[in-house]
Chain A
């Protein structure tokens, strides 16, 4: 069974057709890049999948179940987690405190005014696990806002992982990062995908990352699906070259 299926999904804002008639299938464990020029509808696609607004037409299935029109909170509970183009962290807390807060929320402990030693240990263990998963253990006690931009994005990644995502939607995960930071982030993305089997959809502009990391690539243009395939197929696709790669050169 496919993890995510979109059947004839469209979305209009007034007269503007942001997405029209998209068919898309993502298999479990896939690392899928979504590319396309500005205004192609990439973020709109993410907003539809994560339930920020419902599609105007079409159906969305997750693990074979219809999720069309479900609220974001409900989808988060199902395991569809997303990040945003701007970094959303808790700036004045340490990295560890950021993750601890996320873990407590994920464990449903948030409204507990007291927590016993066993509970504290369970939270700490999980937070440490996340620190390891995103390679931030050595920066655990640094205040998040004092970290480099790239590390802040990685903190956010750690927060996102606290919900044990089944499908992770990453909106430009390496935007604004230097070369080294980008490499670090890409390494983490790849490892989470390989080692934890987390299925990911990510929007990206950097061609090296796209062709180096993604199992498959979906190309959008003007709200329609232009092409889909592996790196070699997309690189060889004439329509893509003309409409997207071509326009860049």
Chain B
């Protein structure tokens, strides 16, 4: 019995994620592809910063997806925490000092704590009301950034800061090209690992339970509101981390990084890739960023390409692109 139990536990250890055979191998390949991106991207005629942008958008969307896909909370205001992460980092570099670690910490804490404070306001709402209140609160941060002209740069955005050399134990590193890519990849890995650990814990199991049947969960004595709050907060911290990376990528941030339109893009990215799937938003982000890069050189209306893709996915692959692949494989 006990041996059997342990085998079951081992085989089911990651069962909230797709239990593919050779999952480890696939992950190793995926990790290698990411680690070698600065090598192979130029070979296919692309550039490293494109890979960096994929990481940034993927991290933002994966952070959102903890709430959206795994807890069932449709947030249409996550750009707010992305943007606050960006402003936190930019303001720190501009007004306080050229320390990269502090700058990232400032962005993560600003966006993350904002989400934590907003949580209690939104956690009692469900469905469309949840979406509406998250959008409204998100827009509030947008207007603060626009109006607080002399501090945030207002509508023109925040300039006057740039990536600084990174202080490491062995000396300092200039963050250009591949170096900056690895800098972002490191924080991407930290954020993704955090999300993965949470989803494979009792807390994560309960979040999925809240998505599946919140009434049932209440009958088990669990306060679903509290779960929603925690999910919202963690999600906000991770998305803020992505925002911080975005500010460093562009050496710039503007109120558009807080705007509800970007929130909508994050949701689209999740749906496109598959929001029931851990890596779904990554696939969505890759498609989004690559489309933006290539299609925008051909047509101003590159967004309509994304729009058509989005419609096709919603109509024919409601589980998203990665969701379809996962199902094929297991079925």
Which A residues lie at the B interface, using CB under 8 A? 73, 76-77, 88-94, 96-97, 100-102, 104-106, 109-115, 120-121, 123-125, 128, 140-141, 159, 162-163
Contacts and interface: CB of A to CB of B under 8 A. Distances in A.
Interface of B: 1-2, 4-6, 8-9, 12-13, 15-16, 197-198, 201-206, 208-209, 212-213, 215-217, 219-222, 226-227, 230, 276
B12 A76 contact: no
A89 B16 contact: no
B215 A111 contact: no
A106 B5 contact: no
Contact of B202 (A73, A109, A140): A109
Chain B at the A interface: mostly helix, strand, loop or mixed? helix
A162 B215 CA distance: 17
A124 B227 CA distance: 22
A113 B203 contact: yes
Given A105-B220, A159-B220, A96 B206 contact: no
A91 B213 CA distance: 8
Contacts, number: 95
A68 to B, nearest CB: 21
B216 A112 contact: no
Contacts of A124: 5-6, 8-9, 12
Contact of A120 (B9, B198, B206): B9
25 contacts: A76-B219, A88-B213, A90-B208, A90-B216, A91-B212, A92-B276, A93-B208, A94-B15, A100-B205, A105-B220, A105-B221, A110-B206, A112-B203, A113-B204, A114-B197, A114-B201, A121-B6, A123-B202, A124-B5, A125-B5, A128-B1, A128-B4, A128-B5, A128-B8, A141-B15
A77 B221 CA distance: 9
B66 to A, nearest CB: 12
B197 to A, nearest CB: 6
Contacts of A106: 220
A162 B206 CA distance: 15
A50 B121 CA distance: 31
B220 A102 contact: yes
Nearest to A93: B212
Q: Which of B202, B206, B230 has the most CB of A within 10 A?
A: B202
A131 B4 CA distance: 13
Given A101-B206, A111-B206, A121-B9, 12 more contacts: A73-B221, A76-B221, A91-B213, A102-B220, A104-B205, A105-B222, A110-B206, A114-B197, A115-B202, A124-B9, A128-B8, A159-B216
Nearest to B220: A105
A112 B208 CA distance: 14
B197 A113 contact: yes
Given A88-B216, A90-B216, A91-B212, A110 B5 contact: no
A97 B16 contact: yes
B193 to A, nearest CB: 12
B215 to A, nearest CB: 6
A59 B147 CA distance: 62
A111 B198 CA distance: 10
A139 to B, nearest CB: 13
Contacts of B9: 120-121, 124
A110 B202 contact: yes
Nearest to A111: B203
A140 B8 contact: yes
Contacts of B216: 88-90, 159
Contacts of A110: 202-203, 206, 222, 227
Q: Which of B9, B12, B205, B215 has the most CB of A within 10 A?
A: B205
Nearest to A123: B202
Nearest to A94: B15
Given A96-B15, A121-B5, A125-B5, A101 B205 contact: yes
Contacts of B4: 128
Given A89-B213, A113-B201, A104 B15 contact: no
Nearest to A121: B9
Contacts of B220: 101-102, 105-106, 159, 162-163
Given A76-B221, A106-B220, A159-B220, A90 B201 contact: no
